[in-house]
Chains A and B, each alone.
Chain A
């Protein structure tokens, strides 16, 4: 049989303070991101901020600069442009337009039809979100993350013990914060589809953590004499190859999605890739150390 590492014996918990520092930094970035999001300073997608986005597919290649000039000349303010030159697509986004819905996109298409008469285009998609809907979606998303985390806490606390629930929840929340923070730093758009990715990451990372916890519980029951820390280390080592293999398969599919899944799912799959890496790390370096740090009496001891 092929083995990744033969009988691994790495002292993961010994490195917990390095891990805590690293995770602390990631989490702080995530918290900054949340603050920026709630004050509206982050790069919010129009589904959260409200506004209009139009994606156009031109017949022939277009110059982004020419489009910018045309739109500015037509009196459109506060927009940004993005192009996918390989397929002659242009994405125009206007945030927080005060105008009535519908008028902004009509104005844009009217200008482009007039200024580029010999380069016809198809409207791939139009998204117009009023400020009221944006605010509601934002609140819904925050609520969803909250509910998911409470659900996780309850289930793990019920299946294991309360402090395991806390460890799993913190590790999961850590992953969500970290990916959000990284997206924030990279200047990527924070939108509804990212929240979907974050919740998927939460589910995935939790799976990883539960597998580790399961082994820890089993070993705690079997080896009453060994210290909790030693048992945790042994358990993490025992499931290490599973952790790596499963992460690899999920990474492979996320990568396939990233490379071939099309423009709409690009950021989603990027978030998944980051999330799988961070989730794998946190189930090894964050979840168990927190249970250990919590202290209290030896879990799952025979009475």
Chain B
């Protein structure tokens, strides 16, 4: 008997020491530990969730349909060129997500089907329309999400956030978690920007171009677009350039008539960095093209001297300078009244590359660091007061046995924190609630045992017999009641998002550990008391 008790106490002591070692990184004492300890022993501890340390939780949807549309667009243009080169007369027009081809001659079909295997034809009422096949579209959407994920990861790496979490969720969503970000809006802009860089020629020859107003106030762009909607020449479009007056700081939007077809895009970029314009002491982004890009840029500028070329990012014109001469070497500048931060972020997104398709933000949960700190303080307070209240109540009601139950309770809390630290579990605000509730529920096992022991004592059994049979009888009840709580905790874990998952983790760990402390811990203390000599009375 005595030997059995000894081994059980040894087991408890070992678990307590282990718990302390694992939990140490979460205490101020950790920084005073010697270096070898920090290197070799557990050094991560419990991780605070975004709701406690502050940070961003974002969910984006990659608009894969747009990726398919963009590709269709590109096919339509290259197809036009191809047919022209092969001297096949046919008219090509984008229609929704399809390419309308007239006439539907065998010759045209052969050219298309030989060169574009991913396009599949459909014919209704004599109209021949080619679409990207469903299978190919699905593959495109899927790879768009993967590419977007990679691009976002690049951008965040360059932006500099410690321990970001970026992963794919479901078919077309991306979850980004950034702990401890100080400027959430900037981070969101950086991640969400499509960063589609395009170079387009300004259509100054059209009559419309002269009729466009010089500049309009922000918000009036829609009106201008409506006003000119019917008169925009085929193959042209109107985009806006933001103009900020240096003296007054007033923002105006200037409409620019452009050739829709981009002469060049940002995928030929090799470098983008921030430079300072010494004249106005204003930052701008200088970009360099790779070899192929530099050659293309030289050809384009050479062919369009004295014309204006617009630099466009995500459908906003940044500048539209006149090409003075052929530009060799493959360097260009993006100016646009940037602040230093804006210029830096722009250079990051250009370096990391464009997203394959625009993204829509579905969810944004941002928690400031002060709220998180307040929550931790309040949680600690509630936990301490709750524990004291329960502990006092148990002593009041069960006397010495209550003290034993309280020891088990403290053991329970120590082991719970240790277990969470050993798993590097994430502690969230609902998780704190879980710990506090677990404290309330932890004494239940002891209550069940004590009530049984009282029954046995009333039935006239000796204290030792009462302890043993009370314990045995309570065992399966305790087991059943714990399993039922675990079922709901498992469901919560399965369905919950971040904070609620944290709750499920603390609750289920709390319940499992409680099984250990009640069945091993409390029983051992009673056995120890009983093992000395048969006691006459049990303080219960």
Task: Say whether A214 faces chain B, with CB atoms less than 8 Å apart.
Answer: yes
Residues of B within 8 A of A262 (CB): 374-375, 377-379, 382
Task: State whether the Cβ of B465 lies closer than 8 Å to any Cβ in chain A.
Answer: no
User: What's the minimum C-beta distance from B389 to chain A, rounded to whole angstroms?
Assistant: 4
Chain A residues 39-95 with CB under 8 Å of chain B are 55, 57
B441, A250: Cβ atoms closer than 8 Å: yes
Contact A127 B364 (CB under 8 A): yes
Q: Is the CB of A128 within 8 A of B437?
A: no
Say yes or no: is A302 at the interface (Cβ < 8 Å to chain B).
no
Chain A residues in 8 Å Cβ range of B399: 1
Interface 1/0s, chain B 470-492, versus A by CB < 8 A? 00010011001111110111111
Pairs A-B, 5 closest by C-beta atoms = A262-B378, A253-B440, A256-B386, A203-B488, A253-B386
Residues of A within 8 Å of B378, CB to CB, are 260-262, 265
A143 within 8 Å of B (CB atoms): yes
With contact pairs A155-B483, A155-B484 given, residues A132 and B362 touching in the complex (Cβ less than 8 Å): yes
B448 contacts partner chain A, Cβ-Cβ < 8 Å = yes
B181 at interface by CB-CB < 8 Å: no
A199 touches B488 (CB 8 A): yes
Looking at the assembled complex, report how far the CB atom of B151 sits from the nearest CB atom of chain A, in whole angstroms.
Answer: 19
Over the window 87-121 of chain A, the binary record of Cβ atoms lying under 8 Å from chain B Cβ atoms (1 yes, 0 no) is 00000000000001110001000000000000000
Taking a contact as CB atoms under 8 Å apart, the answer to whether A265 and B433 are in contact is yes
The answer to whether A206 touches B390 (Cβ under 8 A) is: no
Q: Which positions 392-439 of chain B face chain A at CB distance < 8 Å?
A: 393-394, 396-399, 429-430, 432-433, 436-437, 439
**Does B443 sit at the interface, judged by CB under 8 A?**
yes
Contacts of A248 in B (CB 8 A): 393
**Complex CA distance for A261 and B393, rounded to whole angstroms:** 20
A4 to B466, CA, bound (A): 20
Q: Which residue of A lies closest to B188 (CB)?
A: A102
| Contact flag A260-B188 (CB < 8 Å), given A159-B480, A254-B437 | no
CB distance from A207 to the nearest CB of B (A): 4
Instruction: Known pairs A130-B363, A207-B482, A265-B378; list 18 more (Cβ under 8 Å).
Output: A100-B361, A123-B366, A125-B366, A126-B366, A129-B363, A132-B61, A141-B495, A147-B491, A152-B487, A196-B496, A199-B491, A200-B492, A203-B485, A206-B484, A239-B451, A246-B447, A257-B433, A265-B430
A-side interface size class: 35 or more
Interface string of A113-157 (1 = CB under 8 A from B): 000000000111111111011000100110110011001100110
Tell me the smallest distance from the CB of A230 to a CB of chain B, in Å. Answer: 18
Query: Is A161 an interface position by the 8 A CB rule?
Result: no
* CB–CB A203/B484 < 8 A: yes
The answer, yes or no, to whether A272 is at the interface (CB within 8 Å) is: yes
Does residue B324 face the partner (Cβ distance < 8 Å to A)?
no
Q: Count of B residues near A, CB < 8 Å?
A: 76
- Residues from chain B with a CB closer than 8 A to the CB of A128 are 361, 363-365
Taking A130-B363, A203-B484, A252-B393 as contacts, is the C-beta distance between A196 and B500 under 8 angstroms? yes
- 8 A Cβ contacts from A252-303 to B: 252-257, 259-262, 264-265, 268-269, 272
Distance A277 CA – B240 CA, assembled complex (angstroms): 63
Residue B41 at the chain A interface, CB threshold 8 Å: no
How many Å lie between the Cα of A159 and that of B484 in the bound state? Answer: 11
Is B485 in contact with A1, judged by CB distance below 8 angstroms? no
Complex A-B: 20 CB contacts under 8 Å: A55-B371, A57-B371, A101-B362, A127-B364, A129-B362, A129-B364, A130-B361, A130-B362, A144-B495, A151-B488, A159-B480, A193-B499, A199-B491, A202-B488, A207-B444, A207-B481, A211-B481, A249-B390, A257-B382, A265-B429
A253 touches B394 (CB 8 A): no
Contact residues in A for B499 (Cβ distance below 8 Å): 193
Contact string against B for A residues 182-218, beta-carbon threshold 8 Å, 1 for contact and 0 otherwise: 0000000000110010011011101100110011001
Chain A residues lying within 8 Å of B398, measured Cβ to Cβ, are 1
User: B31 at the A/B interface (Cβ < 8 Å)?
Assistant: no
- In the assembled complex, the CB of B443 is this many whole angstroms from the nearest CB of chain A, namely 5
Whether the Cβ atoms of B393 and A101 lie closer than 8 Å is no
The distance from the CB of A198 to the nearest CB of chain B, in whole angstroms, is 10
Residues of B within 8 A of A (CB): 51, 59, 61, 184-185, 188, 360-368, 370-371, 374-375, 377-379, 381-383, 385-387, 389-390, 393-394, 396-399, 429-430, 432-433, 436-437, 439-441, 443-444, 447-448, 451, 454-455, 473, 476-477, 480-485, 487-492, 494-497, 499-500, 503, 507, 540
- Minimum C-beta distance from A276 to chain B (A): 9
Given known A253-B439, A257-B382, contact A155–B487 (CB-CB < 8 A)? yes
Beta-carbon nearest neighbor of B473 in chain A: A218
CB-contact partner of A238 in B184, B455, B476, under 8 A: B455
Assess whether A125 is in contact with B363, with CB atoms less than 8 Å apart.
no
Smallest CB gap from A126: residue in B = B366
Which residues of chain A have C-beta atoms less than 8 A from B483's C-beta? 155
Cβ contact within 8 Å between B488 and A122: no
Task: Enumerate chain B residues within 8 angstroms of A257, measured Cβ to Cβ.
Answer: 382, 386, 433, 436-437
Chain B residues with CB under 8 A of A192: 497, 500
A255 to B370, CA, bound (A): 25
A143 and B488 contacting across the interface, CB-CB below 8 Å: no
Do residues A261 and B440 form an inter-chain contact, with CB atoms below 8 A? no
Which residues of B are found within 8 Å of A215, using beta-carbon distances?
477
Residues of B contacting A148 in the complex (Cβ-Cβ under 8 angstroms): 487-488, 491
Determine the chain B residues whose CB is within 8 A of the CB of A196 once the complex forms.
Answer: 430, 492, 496, 500, 503
Q: Is the CB of B430 within 8 A of A242?
A: no
User: Smallest distance from the beta carbon of B374 to chain A beta carbons, Å?
Assistant: 6
How far is B377's CA from A137's CA once the two chains are assembled, in angstroms? 29
Is A5 an interface position by the 8 A CB rule?
no
Which residues in B have their C-beta under 8 angstroms from that of A122?
Answer: 368, 370
Docked complex Cα distance between A140 and B51 (Å): 21
Measured between alpha carbons, how far is A275 from B476 in the docked complex, in Å?
Answer: 25
Q: Max chain A CB contacts within 10 Å: which of B381, B385, B433, B496?
A: B433
Asked if A151 and B487 sit within 8 Å, CB to CB, the answer is yes
Instruction: Say whether B368 contacts A125, CB under 8 Å.
Output: yes
Compute how far the CA of A261 lies from the CA of B431 in the bound complex, rounded to whole angstroms: 12
A127-B364, A133-B363, A148-B487 known; A140 vs B440 contact (CB < 8 Å): no
Q: Which residues of A contact B360 (CB under 8 A)?
A: 100-101, 130
**A18 interface residue (CB < 8 Å to B):** no
